[in-house]
Structure 1
Amino acid sequence: MLEMQSFIHRWNTHREVLHKLVDLNQEGLAEYKPWDGSMTYGELALHIAGSMEMFANTVIRGEFTPPQTKNEWTTIEDVRNLVHRYTESTSSLLASITEEQLQQEIALFGKTAPGFAILNMALDHEIHHKGQLFTFARVAGVSELPFFM
């Protein structure tokens, strides 16, 4: 399970930055969207926070498990609270994953992959969208951003 502990540590280094990004104090940032049809900053932060939980549940159950929660928010404080809740619940889920679950083949998005590959894809997904949050924040006028990890 050393591999899983290493994965959780790597995920935590990136997730800590997501917390810093939702802690930014910029007026109107949560509602900011750089183009019509894009997610807002708050929606994207919650998409990131909820996705790893969805993928962890998929690995645990051995089949695609869509998100079970609603991301209802009004303020950046709501976004912060939801991101913190997702982080806590996802940490518990990741810690519960067994070696057998990491090795099992799971059908996802028209392909089959072992659980560990799905978790690595989920981390890449989180990192990709976190980069978008950095861009959203910079374009919205935030001058001081945290380091990416």
Structure 2
Amino acid sequence: MAILDGFVAGWLSHRKALIELVETFEDQHLDYKPWDNAMSVSELVLHITGATGMFVQTVKNGTFTPPAEQKAVRTVNELKDIIQAETDQTKADLESLTEEQLAKTVEFYGMNMPGMVLLENGKDHEVHHKGQLFTYARLVGIETLPFFVSRS
């Protein structure tokens, strides 16, 4: 399925950039929040990876499937391990989707759309929050950041 293959490749270029971005943080940055009610660095990263998995599972199951509960992390290395595991799982789940699942209309927070459209919304969600994480990085003083998509 050429459309799905292109989607996965584009999504992975953003996910790899997320991993590169996380590598710029230090352990003491993981609890940083730009304001009291914001997500911390680690919470935002886990929200990104968990939500993308949720979008894929919702398309796969044909009905809203909530994300797994977020894990607490203490180190950047722990966070990177979680990201990699969730990336591997999400990629495998994406690659298992059928044309019927991509075309089937699913309901998501009061909206009805084909599965492929929901996946595109999920990728947009990931990109949006990754942009926030770039801002967090600047706010904690990180000067050298990766490109917004992976070039590797």
Q: TM-score range by the shorter chain?
A: over 0.9
Question: Matched residue pairs, number?
Answer: 149
Q: What is the match of residue 104 of structure 1? A: 104
Q: What is the match of residue 83 of structure 2? A: 83
Q: What is the match of residue 117 of structure 1? A: 117
Q: What is the match of residue 32 of structure 1? A: 32
C-alpha distance 25-135 of structure 1, shift in aligned 2 (>3 A): closer
Q: What is the match of residue 22 of structure 1? A: 22
How far is 1:72 from its partner? 2.2
Q: What is the match of residue 57 of structure 1? A: 57
103-112 vs 27-36, which deviates more? Answer: 27-36
How far is 1:68 from its partner? 2.5
1:48 is aligned to 2:40 = no
Q: Secondary structure at the match of 1:82?
A: helix
How far is 1:77 from its partner? 1.8
Q: Secondary structure at the match of 2:28?
A: coil
134-143 vs 21-30, which deviates more? Answer: 21-30
How far is 1:26 from its partner? 3.3
Alignment of 1:124-143 (within 5 A): 124-143=124-143
Residues 20, 146 of structure 1: 8 Å contact kept:
yes
How far is 1:67 from its partner? 1.1
1:62, 1:25 → 2: CA distance? 37
Residues 26, 76 of structure 2: 8 Å contact kept:
no
1:98 aligned partner, one-letter code: T
**What TM-score do the two structures reach when normalised by structure 2?**
0.94
**What TM-score do the two structures reach when normalised by structure 1?**
0.96
1:94 aligned partner, one-letter code: L
1:129, 1:89 → 2: CA distance? 20
Identity value in percent: 41
How far is 1:146 from its partner? 0.2
Q: What stretches of structure 1 of length at least 5 have no aligned partner?
A: none
Cα deviations across residues 87-137 of structure 1 (Å, max 9, x unaligned)?
Answer: 010010000011000000001111100000000000000000000000000
Residues 32, 41 of structure 2: 8 Å contact kept:
yes
Residues 26, 142 of structure 1: 8 Å contact kept:
no
Cα deviations across residues 3-42 of structure 1 (Å, max 9, x unaligned)?
Answer: 0000000000000011111111435221111111101111
How far is 1:51 from its partner? 1.1
1:100, 1:27 → 2: CA distance? 43
